[in-house]
Structure 1
Amino acid sequence: MQEQIKIGSVTLNFKHYSGVDLYSDGAIENDLLEIVKNHTKDEYQKIIEERASWPILYHLSDQRANIVEWIPMSKDAKVLEVGSGCGAITGMLSSKAGQVVSCDLSRRRSEINATRNKDCDNVTIHVGNFRDIEPDLDKDFDFIFLIGVFEYGQGYIGTENPYEKFLLMLKRHLKKDGRIVIAIENRLGLKYFAGCTEDHLGTYFSGIEGYTADSVAKTFTRGGLINIFKRCRINDYHFYYPYPDYKLMTLLHSDSYLPKFGELQDNVRNFDRDRLVLFNEKHAYEDLVKDGLYPEFANSFEVIIGPGFDTIYSKYSNDRVDEFKIRTDIAIGRNGRKVIKKFPLTEAAREHVYSIRDAYAGLREKYHGGDLEINDCQIDENEGCAIFSFVNGVPLASVLDECIDKDDMEGFNALIAEYVKRIRHNEDYPVSDYDLIFSNIMVNGPIWTIIDYEWTYGKCIPVKEQVWRALYCYRLEDRKREKFDPKPIYKKLGLSEKEMKVLLEEEYAFQKYVTGNRKSMVEIWKDIGRKIIVPKELAMNPEAARAADCIQIYLDEGEGYSEDDSIFPEEQYDEKNTVTLTIDVPSSCKMLRVDPAFSPCLVTILDATWNGKSVEDGTADISVEPGNGEWLSDDSFVFNTDDPSIEFDLSSNRLSVKENNVLVLKLLTTLVPKNAADAVVASVKANDEGNKEKVSIIRKIGRKLKNKRKERREEDYDYEDLDDYIDEE
């Protein structure tokens, strides 16, 4: 074997490679190698969306690099990356530093890394065990990165006290004032209490319970990491808290800037495995935040060992088209005060960030003499960012929430009236902030300040349209906010149903404009299709905990389906196995899903109306599909799963949508044994493939269903008869 080869501009060093890959994700790595060989990085997102696979998402998503992108680094920095894997982080480090030395156990992974980053002429990858590579490494690195690696210390070092020895070994290779960066899961992360499996072992509660002696990896609590640092005589360290976790981070908090009440809403994202949902994580986090306990229960840590940074908070908005990808930081300025900085994450986004200064000038002119302050904005050409003052106060959205929590609708309406009055100042001036939502206004006593005006345009947007969008976004962020009825406000503003439908279409168009055709992480999570099991399905076994004919309803208001917000309707099946569901549907809902049972079943939609108009005859333009079943006839489906679902697509432009809508469904559902349902599904599929012998089965079953309907459902299907019926055919 050659000791050193090149793939593009990247050097691979095999001096310490044993000839055997000691760590592998299996056959998926062959797929990854083919992808990076045959596709550019710009094409990865499309592949992620098409494949709907966790390993593909994990290894190829550009959001993986968020965990290091925010870290300030000089262009001549010398970086060591331990455990570089398939290169999700390597490329970002290469773009920020002068020299990157990476190490990994696996030749195949290193080939993937080198191939995807083949244009990086400052990267060398050493393949082999770190213990063997370490003596050959330089001793003057500015940064050493362990992203998802420190937990494998036992495997890397293989001695007593491996984690301490690992750190001490690394310290030998740092220059003075150098930094070690560790990203790792929190053993007591809230998601593990709430029902996620341990990331490395795939088992429930194994980290919380302290692991077993033979665990392949071991994560730590905050205190556990601090104890390791102390045993290594490391006293200069700084904790950051990536959210939802370090793998696909969108928010980064610190001890100097912890999350605010209600901020942590992106919790049910089990891309890798099925999970339980034992409680509402958002609500649990709210209480932990209120009591100052978030650092102990954050899902992940990012620890900087060595001198700290000025940055105390980062928010990523890089699930957008390149022209709008930005990062927002809160940092400590030279005078010791907090400042806000917005950085373009692509060259294409630079114009967008720099244009915020023009937006500031326009809005300042518009609201001059009024009761709205505009947070000041300056452009720093050296840093390449827009800089704003940090405004103290409480977001208007939080003030409104307090009114809802206290059931003070009079106070709520007074605040809305005050909002309308303040934004109405000089309303004919041809500059408007499209995103003048409640969370972008900071309230400090009588002073209201617009703190974020990224989406400002040189035109007039009618006040009533700004109010509509502010209320729409406010209600969309938290279902508890649906407690208040906005219709009186809309009526007072003179907004008609037709106008609101147009505004809703404009909102969808705006979101597409910002994100392009890129799927959100929620949509990708939905496509990957991991199961979430709610508490009612627990006890000794799922069947014992929930009746098989229980109904569950999900509303997708742009963020995918959520167990937290699903509905178990009061309506139940009658003795004839029919049920009439009356479902309230907000205008923001684009998809609706009904799970008619928790068992294999046959389902017929006897009737369906939308705001009193028939779905069956096409008067209401709604598309209906069996999510995981097969059609039997124009109105009947068969499901051979314990999680049957029927999806209603409400996104048609021809569908008349009001602010509040009502979908009424009448269903006939017959539970059937799994083997019977399997046989019917197999017959349907065979029919689709042109198997004429099986056509008669489906037709007869279809006739049987229709006959049952004609008999007014006076008797139920007999499970054994259906089995015998299929066997005879």
Structure 2
Amino acid sequence: MELIGSVQLNTDVFREEPVRTDAERLQDADLEEILRIVQDESWPESRDKAIAENPSWSKLYHLSDIRKNVLRPFLRKKTGKVLELGSGCGALTGILAEHAETADCLDASAKRSLVNAFRHRKFTNLTVYAGEYALAEPLLGKYSLIVVEESFSCRMTAQILDSLYSKHLDPDGEIWILAENRLGFQYLAGVPEQLSGQFFSGLEGQTGNLPETRSKKEWDDILAKGKIPSERIGYYYPYPECRFTMALYSDSRLPEPGELDIIDNNYDRKRLRIFDDRKVQQTFLENGLFPQFSNSFFIRVFGSGSFSDKTQKTPVYVKFSNERSGRFSFYTVIAADQRVEKVAVNREGMEHLRHIRQMQKELERLYGDTLEINRSCLKEDCLELEYVQGETFQTKAERCFRNKGKEAALQEIQNYLELVIPAEPRIPFFRENPQFAAVFGASAAAAFPSGTESLPVSDIDLIMANLICDSGRKILLDYEWTFDFPIPVEFLKYRVLHYFLSGPGKSEWETEDLIAHFGLKETLLPVFQEMERNFQKYVSGAHVAVRELYTKITPGVLPVRTLVDQRLEKQARNGLRLYYAGSEEFSEQNSELFPVQGGELSLRKYLEQDVSRLRIDPGEESCLCFLRKLEVNGEPVKRMSCSGKKVSGGVWVFSHPDPWFCLEGLTPGSVLELEMKIAPVSEEILCAMEGVFRPENPETGRRESLREKAGKIWKHRKN
């Protein structure tokens, strides 16, 4: 037993680490540096800086505060004793220890456990065990909450689960299991499998040896074998996955169209880009397949005691908005009893929630009876809002576009703009405004001419997805970004149009055309874009969002679809093409392409009555051709012209990228039979074969040596 700060580090049951997975090897690449970072007393305050300076997947995975998102909505109040299995470097340990009476952590890695202990050395209620579960299990007690992280869930067995549920869980307690889905959509889309690092390894089947990822059905089987009643099990679906969760769905609230928009999430390994992720995910949603193909699971297991009261208050949907400055960080929860809450991530965020509450009253005065503002009420750690349902104006406009066309959709947008940006009341916009400059930039303010108008209060987030129609009511759902200083109404209009266009299926809309249609000056477009950038900087503050580190960390994307298209195009160019003609010249319009598989081709072709001339092109590069068979009407062709040189037998050499054979004087309705083998040959090899043959120059008909031809090629390239 070792004391690190106030944390007890127990290595009594530790033995040499078992074989780690490929995922754990990648995660531990910078473990020595991470240990040095957390040993610094000031490290929690410099977390973002530590991650952003020389960023890596290992540091992001272990140190990012976003790792806690998956547990935040369930840890709003104090709990009893907590056990964390697979605690690693402690990405989740801190939030568990904050809410626990006591917290025990277990990880099979001694180095990770050491990092965890140093990282949380100020906690007086934390014990970190380094060792395998089988050795440490006798030391464990009873717990009101057991959290199983991914590194442990892939080693979970029905026996271990039964032991946790029957021996170590209080009757009123819960087990939370975080697990990767073997059939996760990301793996179908070309992301390497987490544990093996191989493409499609989980989809193609696993060996049955631990560790392994599991599908939803396979988890159902383990839970059943672990003697856990199905009515005490609930599934959540972290999106995009449980490591960096930005939304949490459930069977009671699955994703809606347009919500699954994160496609760049491969920070650890290079991925394949096989198809349009957003469109395919939408197809899965429409066919009810999201639960089976969710990238991760959060499995909530209730103990044997009463839990009916908990199920009413349990979240069914969570959206996280904490990739921001601390004062603007919160998450939105919809509970089973249809309560909606915006929850502050920290105390600093409560001031922002109080501001939102105040802006509700200001907006009600502005809009009067024309528009309802979603009612809110301040609670201890959150802002509670009315739960309302209905069709958004975004959906309404998009349906209008699909059914009635662009002009009708433009009228819908015009009606919306007139509703949310009323003609009265208006106040002047003053360019000398320090509040405006702090949020949107001083140079942007100077760009607006005198006479520019503003609303008394301005909700800059009046996007069409934030307003719904419900039984004749028009209700503004989200008014978080409402300011009580003057903002040009043109910017409010621009943001409505900009975010309407950013949705899927707007390829037929041009931003500039839409801007002009609604009376915005194109010269102001760069000003609006600058205001938007400055606003995003204002929101994020010093916080470095995970998405901003993507290009600095990711190994990249291999665009399979593009490469396949290029390969197919190349194959099309290099296939054998027949040109048909009578008295006219040969042309692409009167030609036909035949694929060449493995360099070999065999075909029988009935020619049209008006075909008296035939050109055979075996590709578009220098090559060797072996004519096994070339017959017309069952007779071998004895006379033909070509752009190459016959070497021996049926072998022809073409030393330039335009090989062809030409047959003249064909009788109407002839039958062509052709068997050919084609082997591309580089110019360098042909030049090395000087003296073996003297190919004919197709332009002059004169046979020239390869030395002459190589010299011409060299001169051409030099010039």
Q: Which runs of 4+ in 1 moved over 6 A?
A: none
Aligned length in residues: 535
Aligned partner of residue 81 in structure 1, secondary structure: strand
CA drift at 1:27? 5.2
Higher mean C-alpha deviation, range 43-52 or range 235-244:
43-52
Cross-structure match for 1:249 = 245
- Aligned-partner residue type, residue 315 of structure 2: T
Cross-structure match for 1:318 = 322
Check if 1:121 corresponds to 2:129. Answer: no
Check if 1:439 corresponds to 2:439. Answer: no
Cross-structure match for 2:411 = 414
Cross-structure match for 1:297 = 293
Cross-structure match for 2:213 = 219
Cross-structure match for 2:650 = none
Listed as ranges, the matches of 1:594-633 within 5 Å are: none
Give the one of 207, 214, 222 matched to 1:228.
222
Listed as ranges, the matches of 1:703-714 within 5 Å are: none
CA drift at 1:523? 2.7
1:304 and 1:123 map into 2 onto residues whose CA distance is 23
CA drift at 1:401? 2.6
Check if 1:520 corresponds to 2:515. Answer: no
Aligned partner of residue 402 in structure 1, secondary structure: helix
CA drift at 1:128? 1.1
Unaligned runs of 5+ in 1: 154-161, 551-671, 674-712, 719-729
Q: Does the 8 Å CA contact 1:195/1:204 hold for their aligned counterparts?
A: yes
Give the one of 151, 164, 175 matched to 1:180.
175
> 1:717–1:466: structure 2 CA closer, same or farther, 3 Å change rule?
farther
Q: Does the 8 Å CA contact 1:241/1:252 hold for their aligned counterparts?
A: yes
Cross-structure match for 1:203 = 198
Aligned partner of residue 70 in structure 1, secondary structure: helix
Cross-structure match for 2:113 = 110
Cross-structure match for 2:257 = 261
> 1:198–1:455: structure 2 CA closer, same or farther, 3 Å change rule?
same
Structure number with greater CO (CA < 8 Å, separation at least 6) is 2
Give the one of 13, 17, 33 matched to 1:16.
13
Q: Does the 8 Å CA contact 2:102/2:125 hold for their aligned counterparts?
A: yes
Check if 1:191 corresponds to 2:216. Answer: no
> 1:484–1:108: structure 2 CA closer, same or farther, 3 Å change rule?
same
Q: Does the 8 Å CA contact 1:427/1:460 hold for their aligned counterparts?
A: no
CA drift at 1:212? 1.8
CA drift at 1:486? 4.8
Q: Does the 8 Å CA contact 2:269/2:554 hold for their aligned counterparts?
A: no
Aligned partner of residue 227 in structure 2, secondary structure: coil
- Aligned-partner residue type, residue 46 of structure 2: E
- Aligned-partner residue type, residue 261 of structure 1: P
Q: Does the 8 Å CA contact 1:150/1:163 hold for their aligned counterparts?
A: no
2:549 and 2:512 map into 1 onto residues whose CA distance is 34
1:63 and 1:261 map into 2 onto residues whose CA distance is 25
> 1:407–1:163: structure 2 CA closer, same or farther, 3 Å change rule?
farther
Q: Does the 8 Å CA contact 1:190/1:297 hold for their aligned counterparts?
A: yes
Cross-structure match for 1:424 = 421
Q: Does the 8 Å CA contact 2:501/2:511 hold for their aligned counterparts?
A: no
Q: Deviations over 1:616-665 (max 9, x none)?
A: xxxxxxxxxxxxxxxxxxxxxxxxxxxxxxxxxxxxxxxxxxxxxxxxxx
2:559 and 2:460 map into 1 onto residues whose CA distance is 38
- Aligned-partner residue type, residue 363 of structure 1: L
CA drift at 1:254? 0.5
1:316 and 1:533 map into 2 onto residues whose CA distance is 30
- Aligned-partner residue type, residue 352 of structure 2: H
1:258 and 1:485 map into 2 onto residues whose CA distance is 32
CA drift at 1:94? 1.1
> 1:481–1:115: structure 2 CA closer, same or farther, 3 Å change rule?
same
CA drift at 1:490? 3.4
Give the one of 28, 31, 35 matched to 1:29.
31
CA drift at 1:547? 6.1
Give the one of 270, 274, 278 matched to 2:274.
278
Cross-structure match for 1:597 = none
Check if 1:96 corresponds to 2:96. Answer: no
- Aligned-partner residue type, residue 482 of structure 2: T
**TM-score (structure 2 length as normaliser):** 0.70
Aligned partner of residue 100 in structure 1, secondary structure: strand
2:542 and 2:280 map into 1 onto residues whose CA distance is 34
Q: Does the 8 Å CA contact 1:354/1:385 hold for their aligned counterparts?
A: no
CA drift at 1:375? 0.7
Q: Does the 8 Å CA contact 1:404/1:483 hold for their aligned counterparts?
A: no
> 1:716–1:330: structure 2 CA closer, same or farther, 3 Å change rule?
farther
> 1:19–1:221: structure 2 CA closer, same or farther, 3 Å change rule?
closer
2:190 and 2:419 map into 1 onto residues whose CA distance is 45
CA drift at 1:116? 1.2
**TM-score (structure 1 length as normaliser):** 0.70
Q: Does the 8 Å CA contact 1:74/1:97 hold for their aligned counterparts?
A: no
- Aligned-partner residue type, residue 226 of structure 1: D
Cross-structure match for 2:614 = none
Q: Does the 8 Å CA contact 2:85/2:152 hold for their aligned counterparts?
A: no
1:82 and 1:717 map into 2 onto residues whose CA distance is 68
Listed as ranges, the matches of 1:197-596 within 5 Å are: 197-214=192-209, 216-235=210-229, 236-306=232-302, 307=307, 308=311, 310-333=314-337, 338-370=338-370, 372-381=371-380, 384-406=381-403, 408-425=405-422, 426-428=424-426, 430-444=456-470, 446-478=472-504, 480-487=505-512, 490-491=515-516, 493-536=518-561, 544=567
1:538 and 1:246 map into 2 onto residues whose CA distance is 31
> 1:449–1:716: structure 2 CA closer, same or farther, 3 Å change rule?
farther
CA drift at 1:73? 5.4
- Aligned-partner residue type, residue 257 of structure 2: F
1:402 and 1:511 map into 2 onto residues whose CA distance is 30
1:390 and 1:96 map into 2 onto residues whose CA distance is 28
CA drift at 1:489? 5.0
1:275 and 1:514 map into 2 onto residues whose CA distance is 31
Cross-structure match for 1:146 = 148
Larger radius of gyration: 2
- Aligned-partner residue type, residue 145 of structure 2: F
Aligned partner of residue 260 in structure 1, secondary structure: coil
2:17 and 2:213 map into 1 onto residues whose CA distance is 26
Check if 1:137 corresponds to 2:137. Answer: no
Q: CA RMSD for the aligned pairs?
A: 2.6
- Aligned-partner residue type, residue 318 of structure 2: S
Q: Does the 8 Å CA contact 1:537/1:546 hold for their aligned counterparts?
A: no
- Aligned-partner residue type, residue 436 of structure 1: L
> 1:417–1:186: structure 2 CA closer, same or farther, 3 Å change rule?
same
CA drift at 1:114? 0.9
Aligned partner of residue 305 in structure 1, secondary structure: strand
Aligned partner of residue 200 in structure 2, secondary structure: coil
Q: Deviations over 1:433-477 (max 9, x none)?
A: 111111111133543211000011113434332111111122234
Percent identity among equivalent residues? Answer: 32
